[in-house]
Amino acid sequence: MSSLKKDIVSACGPFRRILVAVDADGLASNAVLRGALLARALDAKVELVHAVDLASGSWFRRHERELETVRAQAMALARARTITNLPAVEQGVGARIEDLLRVVPGPPAQAILRRIVNSHADLLVLGAHAKRGLLDFGSTARALLSHSEVPVWVQAELVRPIARVLAAVDLSEHSRTALAVADALANRLDAELHVVTCFVPPPFAYAESPDALPVPSYVLEREVEELESDFARWLDDFPWIRARASSVVVRGDPRSEIPRAAEDEDLVVLGTQGRTGLSRFLLGSIAYGVLRRTTMPVLVVPDPGRAWLLDAPEPAGAGARRASELLPGRR
């Protein structure tokens, strides 16, 4: 394996410490089970984290000692409620929820991001939105996807085996990192790996004005051929762990074509930025569009250059026990 590939795999996967964000209502059951199965397959450790926002204006008038008591009670209540609402996944997890759960104080996104840093996690797993079965991109999930330094696995649907992985790339340097993660993960899971890139026709190819000059089809075909040649060279230069994966070029908007290409896949892996640029919330517009259009598992790999400075220690007494190793004795 090349030194470049070793560096990428060391930094991004296969994963060694998996953090699963959970809520007190048990809505993250799919995410918990996925995190546990990944931990077993990758010989990793898993931790469940639930963030409790203790901010309340009325509390500022309380005596400090009384305030500490109220905070401790709120944390204990959140912990007990979370454990109560996640019993159904214990058998699949192979460990007691209370042994894996850590409750931390603070605004959810900030607290979870801080826990990623302090626990040295290299993968975050998220579940579904309570009402729509999808992520609520206006709140915590959007913030976590936008700012996480580590890959984020979105598990909105029921858990199923990962036998086919689709890596979506745009031939940028960053998408090489996303492909490296997909390659390493597929190798560890003994899954097929497929790679897709999209040809986006220029806007003038769809000019609606009757006075607009039509674009000769041979012009678009030549651009597609050039992209196919560039794609082939890009893949030839990639330091594969396994034999080179199958690949395809599809035409159209990546936000709709990637979910369509992934209909027979079990996981989509993509980066948050590249030549496609960033949205104003830092989550790449392509990644955002794909996540909005599918409930299948999606692994979002952030730009390795992203820096999110949350290295401050957690407040004293934040949470309960550290995660124990999942399923002792696994391979």
Average pLDDT over residues 299-324: 51
Evaluate if residue 324 carries a pLDDT over 90. no
Domain CATH number, residue 100: 3.40.50.12370
Range of the domain at 99: 3-57+66-301
What is the pLDDT confidence band of residue 283, given thresholds at 50, 70 and 90?
low
Beta-strand runs (E) in the chain? 17-21, 45-52, 101-105, 123-126, 152-154, 164-168, 192-199, 246-251, 267-271, 298-301
Share of the chain above pLDDT 90, in %: 45
pLDDT in tens, 265-279: 999 999 876 433 333
Number of compact structural domains in the chain: 1
Residue 48 near residue 32, CB atoms below 8 Å: yes
Query: What residues form DSSP beta bridges with 304?
Result: none
Q: CB neighbours of 168 closer than 8 A, spacing ≥ 6?
A: 175, 178, 195, 196, 197, 198, 254, 258, 261, 268, 269, 270, 286, 290
Residue with tokens 């000692």: 65
Q: Is residue 182 in a domain?
A: yes
User: How much is the pTM?
Assistant: 0.80
What is the pLDDT confidence band of residue 62, given thresholds at 50, 70 and 90?
low
Q: CB neighbours of 328 closer than 8 A, spacing ≥ 6?
A: none
Q: Is residue 312 in a domain?
A: no
Residue 156 near residue 128, CB atoms below 8 Å: yes
pLDDT at residue 68, as a whole number: 79
Q: Is residue 81 in a domain?
A: yes
Q: Is residue 17 in a domain?
A: yes
Q: Is residue 328 in a domain?
A: no
Evaluate if residue 149 carries a pLDDT over 70. yes
Q: CB neighbours of 163 closer than 8 A, spacing ≥ 6?
A: 191, 192, 266
Q: Among 95, 115, 96, which Cα is nearest to 50's?
A: 115
Evaluate if residue 131 carries a pLDDT over 70. no
| Pairing relationship of beta strands 267-271 and 298-301 according to DSSP bridges | parallel
Q: Is residue 278 in a domain?
A: yes
Give the CA radius of gyration of the chain: 22
Rounded-to-integer distance, Cα 293 and Cα 258, Å: 10
